[in-house]
């Protein structure tokens, strides 16, 4: 102990830090060790001090044009020739504070640097910056969608002076400008942070935004003849610190303070972008990306984020339906389940086929697999959905859980029996077809006429359509926002969906329906002790058979997911981001 202490005493703190590649920085009077080359704003953030800022974004370059993150900085005075540096009893050099503030977002830390994020100077300059920003602000918070999550509102409360000294006319700028199919621009609210310009340039690769004019007349605008129509345009509304860029889809729908946030994942492609589902009551109002540097960074494509309106659309199936002549009649769950169980029991195993879906969660796939084993049928498949990667975040595999299906079903290609089943149906060898969550007339390649040869077509679906129309039993299932479960994305990362809503109407969680079917086939009550009663029970059962999930449960997955398998697939945007980080363009 004493030996250790004496060695530590012998070395100066700067030498101790340098051995680890760190530097000593005094943040608000406390000495800290941070990696060399860290931006001051990040150094402060890592110790819990948030420096207010507008233009700085760790995933974008730092132009330092909002001036909000000004802090006071100090360095040891340079010794005159021949003078030895002085050290205090802790081994640090005295800090000579600079009379003028510096921006924290673009400056990096250095050995023996001091940073003050408070104090008279810093507070005064922040107040000044806020006053300038608010001079031309229209103060139309009551009609602004950003109200409630607006940085300008927050910093105005935290660092503003509370009232305006400005007596002249405010500068008028274009309002309610249609700059793209999904984005609305209000130039009066813009504070010229240029986050959107940098995003479109650096991330979306479509630099259509820019400033025109000068001084107070600086105006954000879209390139003449162009529209902000990139598939990533809505991310600009996310990063806009004020209400200058707002989403057309979410425009005037609901104030953000009413919305409940549920962390979940996107199910529109194999990337499985992390999202937040914003709900009020039983309605989803919007979906925004959630930062996960191993999956989607801070972004997600517009096409995926807007694909949620079907959850409460008119096409949504809400009641179990049984075929009654040419049409369907509403039924109850026990009746519908009994009908399916009857059909399954009255047919031989080789007459039964099951089409699962790689859009289902691992838990559901596990139960489908168990049901197939119970029935003894070989005819089990999924439907492949291959598109083209956009080179940013959208994966070529448009099924969100193909890897999960591979793991749970223990198959290299879970979809390889699809054509065999299709032929079997067409040739009349297969009499009962269980379809869990696929529109068979779309990617699966069936024709409506094929179903006439079946004795019984059972479909668990979300939306009405030709497949539901042709089905003998329609079981309404749960949408992605209505269920809890897990999926494995293209990189082999196990991620979790969380339930933000109750299933609509009498629709039920898919795994419960599968459990009831399986219980019905084995003639036990669904509430029997042998049957899973919670989604956690299903995961536990699955983890005992799938070695990759060994020792895990749904809680352990966490909001950011866990890598469970190696696939060799990477997400192009993350590669790009790492490259830019390595080049020092962004903080990352």
Q: Which residues bind other proteins (CB under 8 A)?
A: 138, 141-143, 147, 169, 175-176, 251-255, 257-258
The DSSP string of 113-177 is EEEESSHHHHHHHHHHHHHHHHHT----GGG-TTTTS-HHHHHHHHHS-SS----SPPPP---SE
Distance CA 56, CA 199 (A): 12
Q: How far is the CB of 58 from other proteins (least distance, A)?
A: 32
Sheet architecture: strand order including 321-324: 327-330, 321-324, 473-476, 456-461, 432-436, 352-355, 379-381
Q: How far is the CB of 252 from other proteins (least distance, A)?
A: 5
Q: How far is the CB of 140 from other proteins (least distance, A)?
A: 8
Phi, psi of 19 (to 5 degrees): -60, -30
Given 3-state DSSP classes, what are the helix, strand and coil percentages for the chain, each rounded to the nearest 5? Answer: 30, 20, 50
Of 223 and 255, nearer to other proteins (C-beta) is: 255
Contact of 245 with 183, CB cutoff 8 Å: yes
Of 18 and 254, nearer to other proteins (C-beta) is: 254
Q: How far is the CB of 91 from other proteins (least distance, A)?
A: 52
Residue 403, burial from CB neighbour count under 10 angstroms (0-12, 13-18, 19+):
buried
Of 148 and 210, nearer to other proteins (C-beta) is: 148
Of 98 and 143, nearer to other proteins (C-beta) is: 143
**Strand, coil or helix: what is 409?**
helix
Burial 227-266 (b: 16+ CB within 10 A, else e): ebebbbbbbbbbbbbbbbbbbebbeeebebeebeebbbbb
Residue 39 DSSP symbol: B
Q: How far is the CB of 495 from other proteins (least distance, A)?
A: 33
Of 252 and 327, nearer to other proteins (C-beta) is: 252
Tell me how crowded residue 165 is: count the other CB atoms within 10 A of its CB: 7
Q: How far is the CB of 249 from other proteins (least distance, A)?
A: 12
Of 251 and 345, nearer to other proteins (C-beta) is: 251
CB proximity list for 317: less than 8 A, separation 6 or greater: 461, 462, 463, 464, 468, 474, 476, 477, 507
Of 147 and 569, nearer to other proteins (C-beta) is: 147
Of 141 and 420, nearer to other proteins (C-beta) is: 141
Q: How far is the CB of 185 from other proteins (least distance, A)?
A: 13
Q: How far is the CB of 159 from other proteins (least distance, A)?
A: 21
**Strand, coil or helix: what is 253?**
coil
Of 253 and 498, nearer to other proteins (C-beta) is: 253
Of 75 and 254, nearer to other proteins (C-beta) is: 254
Put residue 190 in one of left, alpha, beta given phi > 0 → left and psi -120 to 50 → alpha.
beta
Q: How far is the CB of 192 from other proteins (least distance, A)?
A: 21
**CA distances in angstroms from 508 to 211, 417, 520, 529, listed in the order given:** 51, 28, 17, 21
Q: How far is the CB of 217 from other proteins (least distance, A)?
A: 18
Of 56 and 285, nearer to other proteins (C-beta) is: 285
CB proximity list for 67: less than 8 A, separation 6 or greater: 103, 125, 129
Q: How far is the CB of 144 from other proteins (least distance, A)?
A: 9
The dihedral through the CA atoms of 216, 196, 240, 302 has a sign that is: positive
Q: What angle do CA 60, 197, 389 make, to 5 degrees?
A: 70
Secondary structure of 285-339 in HEC code, one letter for each residue:
EEEEECCECCCCECCCCHHHHCCCHHHHCCCECCCCEEEECCEEEECCHHHHHHH
Of 29 and 281, nearer to other proteins (C-beta) is: 281
Of 217 and 258, nearer to other proteins (C-beta) is: 258
Q: How far is the CB of 401 from other proteins (least distance, A)?
A: 37
Of 142 and 325, nearer to other proteins (C-beta) is: 142
Distance CA 336, CA 342 (A): 10
Q: How far is the CB of 242 from other proteins (least distance, A)?
A: 16
Tell me how crowded residue 119 is: count the other CB atoms within 10 A of its CB: 13
Distance CA 264, CA 234 (A): 19
Distance CA 563, CA 557 (A): 9
Q: What angle do CA 106, 113, 109 make, to 5 degrees?
A: 30
Q: How far is the CB of 130 from other proteins (least distance, A)?
A: 20
């Amino acid at each position: 102990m004493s030996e250790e202490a004496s060695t530590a005493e012998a070395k100066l703190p700067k030498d101790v830090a340098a051995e680890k590649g760190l530097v000593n920085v005094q943040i608000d009077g406390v000495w800290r060790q941070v990696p060399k080359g860290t931006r001051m704003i990040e150094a402060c953030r890592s110790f819990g001090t948030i420096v207010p800022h507008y233009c700085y974004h760790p995933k974008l370059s730092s132009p330092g044009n909002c001036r909000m993150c000004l802090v006071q900085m100090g360095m040891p005075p340079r010794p005159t020739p021949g003078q030895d540096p002085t050290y205090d009893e802790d081994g640090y050099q005295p800090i000579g504070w600079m009379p003028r503030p510096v921006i924290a977002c673009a400056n990096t830390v250095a050995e023996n640097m001091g940073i003050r994020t408070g104090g008279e100077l810093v507070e005064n300059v922040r107040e000044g910056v806020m006053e300038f920003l608010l001079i031309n602000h229209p103060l139309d918070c009551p009609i602004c969608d950003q109200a409630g999550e607006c940085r300008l509102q927050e910093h105005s409360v935290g660092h503003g002076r509370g009232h305006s000294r400005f007596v002249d006319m405010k500068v008028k700028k274009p309002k309610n400008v249609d700059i793209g199919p999904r984005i609305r621009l209000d130039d009066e609210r813009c504070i010229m942070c240029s986050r959107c310009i940098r995003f479109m340039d650096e991330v979306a690769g479509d630099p259509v935004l820019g400033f025109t004019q000068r001084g107070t007349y600086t105006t954000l605008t879209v390139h003449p003849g162009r529209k902000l129509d990139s598939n990533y345009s809505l991310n600009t509304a996310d990063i806009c610190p004020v209400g200058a860029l707002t989403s057309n889809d979410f425009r005037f729908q609901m104030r953000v303070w009413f919305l409940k946030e549920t962390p979940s994942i996107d199910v529109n492609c194999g990337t499985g972008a992390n999202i937040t589902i914003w709900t009020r009551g039983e309605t989803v109002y919007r979906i925004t990306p959630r930062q996960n540097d191993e999956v989607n960074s801070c972004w997600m494509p517009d096409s995926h984020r807007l694909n949620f309106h079907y959850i409460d659309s008119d096409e949504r199936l809400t009641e179990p339906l049984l075929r009654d002549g040419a049409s369907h009649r509403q039924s109850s769950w026990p009746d519908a389940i009994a009908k399916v169980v009857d059909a399954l029991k009255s047919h031989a195993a080789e007459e039964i086929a099951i089409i699962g879906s790689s859009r289902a969660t691992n838990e559901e796939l596990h139960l489908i697999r168990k049901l197939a084993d119970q029935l003894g049928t070989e005819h089990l498949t999924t439907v492949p959905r291959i598109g083209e990667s956009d080179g940013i975040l959208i994966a070529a595999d448009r099924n969100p859980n193909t890897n999960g299906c591979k793991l749970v079903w223990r198959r290299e290609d879970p979809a390889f029996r699809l054509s065999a089943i299709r032929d079997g149906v067409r040739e009349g060898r297969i009499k009962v077809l269980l379809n869990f969550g696929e529109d068979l007339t779309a990617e699966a390649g069936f024709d409506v006429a094929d179903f006439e040869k079946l004795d019984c077509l059972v479909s668990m679906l979300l939306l009405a359509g030709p497949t539901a129309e042709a089905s003998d039993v329609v079981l309404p299932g749960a949408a992605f926002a209505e269920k809890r479960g897990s999926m494995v994305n293209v990189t082999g990362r196990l991620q979790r969906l969380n339930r933000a809503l109750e299933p609509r109407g009498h629709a039920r969680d898919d795994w419960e329906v599968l459990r009831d079917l399986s219980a019905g086939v084995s003639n036990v009550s669904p509430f029997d002790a042998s049957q899973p009663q919670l989604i956690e029970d299903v995961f536990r059962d699955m983890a005992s058979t799938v070695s990759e999930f060994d020792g895990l449960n749904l809680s352990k997955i966490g909001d950011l997911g866990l890598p469970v398998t190696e696939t060799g697939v990477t997400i192009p945007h993350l590669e790009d981001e790492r490259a830019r980080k390595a080049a020092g363009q962004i903080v990352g």
